[in-house]
């Protein structure tokens, strides 16, 4: 009983002219000793066979050539932003429509980035310095690209205290406090001074009651998230 042999190989390599006007085509397998000869009985069959083989070879070639270069990533190599209490991703976008989105990983140090250690896909929240890897994966007809590194800094948020430089009140025997507003969720302190002694650092206990001219200093010393700020106001009780 004959046994069927399975053959895994490449496209035909040679054509030999057999005896009696017969032609054979020779396939070479992955093993150099593995060969398969197939008889071709007529010239028309020979032409049809080689036409099919040419189409297959061309298709394989053009399929490889169809892969496009990796997209350019639009992203500054140094990026800065201010703390706002939320995760803030870097700015990065692929320049080619249809390209796979870049894969972004955040690291706490350059050493961690090079070691591929403790990275996170989540955008950081806290104030600090970060190193970011942008990876360009293959897909959708694009080749993979080299990684891109970005230095990313989240800085303390600015604090702005707004108040009129001179505030006047009519005397009524009650304490008079300055009026101000602040643009962040922080609570500044206010100290009041007799204007003559203000520069000598003798604050009074609280908002003044008696008639006179006073200096109010509104100040926020800052913390891990917000920068310090201050504002001076002349307070007059007539």
Tens digit of pLDDT for each residue in 28-81?
Answer: 454 545 554 545 455 565 555 555 555 455 455 444 557 888 888 888 999 999
- The CATH code belonging to domain 161-237 is 2.60.40
Q: Cβ atoms within 10 A of the Cβ of 22, count? A: 12
Per-residue confidence (pLDDT) for residue 238, from 0 to 100: 93
pLDDT top residue among 205 and 61: 205
Question: CA–CA separation, 164 vs 233, rounded Å?
Answer: 7
Q: Residue 157 pLDDT more than 90?
A: yes
Per-residue confidence (pLDDT) for residue 99, from 0 to 100: 87
Size of the chain, expressed as the number of residues it contains: 238
- All structural domains of the chain with their residue ranges: 14-65, 73-155, 161-237
Q: Cβ atoms within 10 A of the Cβ of 115, count? A: 11
Q: Residue 154 pLDDT more than 70?
A: yes
Sign, Cα dihedral of 197, 198, 202, 203: positive
Per-residue confidence (pLDDT) for residue 37, from 0 to 100: 53
Host H or E run for residue 111 = helix 110-115
Q: Residue 6 pLDDT more than 50?
A: no
Is-contact 233 163, C-beta < 8 A?
A: yes
pLDDT band with cut points at 50, 70 and 90 for residue 98: confident
Which residues are paired to 38 by β-bridges? Answer: 25
Question: CA–CA separation, 219 vs 238, rounded Å?
Answer: 25
Query: Against a cut of 0.75, is the pTM above it?
Result: no
Is-contact 5 29, C-beta < 8 A?
A: no
Say yes or no: do domains 73-155 and 161-237 share a fold.
Answer: yes
- The CATH code belonging to domain 73-155 is 2.60.40
Q: Residue 5 pLDDT more than 50?
A: no
Q: What is the pLDDT of residues 176-200, one digit of tens each?
A: 999 999 999 999 999 999 876 666 6
């Amino acid at each position: 009983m004959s046994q069927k042999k399975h053959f895994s190989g490449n496209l035909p390599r040679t054509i030999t002219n057999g005896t009696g006007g017969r032609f054979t085509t020779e396939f070479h397998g992955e093993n150099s000793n593995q060969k398969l000869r197939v008889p071709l009985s007529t010239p028309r069959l020979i032409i049809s066979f080689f036409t099919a083989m040419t189409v297959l070879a061309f298709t394989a070639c053009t399929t490889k050539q169809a892969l496009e270069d990796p997209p350019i990533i639009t992203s500054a190599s140094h990026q800065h932003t201010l703390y706002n209490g939320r995760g803030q991703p870097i700015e990065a976008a692929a320049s080619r429509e249809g390209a796979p989105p870049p894969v972004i990983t955040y690291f706490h140090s350059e050493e961690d980035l090079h070691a591929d250690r403790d990275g996170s896909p989540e955008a950081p929240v806290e104030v600090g310095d970060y190193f970011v890897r942008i990876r360009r994966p293959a897909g959708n007809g694009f080749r993979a690209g080299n990684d891109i590194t970005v230095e990313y800094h989240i800085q303390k948020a600015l604090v702005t205290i707004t108040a009129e430089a001179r505030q006047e009140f009519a005397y009524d025997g009650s304490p008079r406090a300055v009026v101000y507003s602040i643009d962040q969720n922080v609570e500044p302190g206010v100290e009041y001074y007799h204007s003559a002694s203000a520069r000598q650092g003798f604050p009074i206990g609280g908002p003044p009651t008696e008639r006179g001219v006073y200096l109010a200093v509104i100040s926020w010393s800052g913390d891990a998230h917000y920068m310090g700020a201050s504002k001076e106001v002349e307070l007059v009780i007539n």
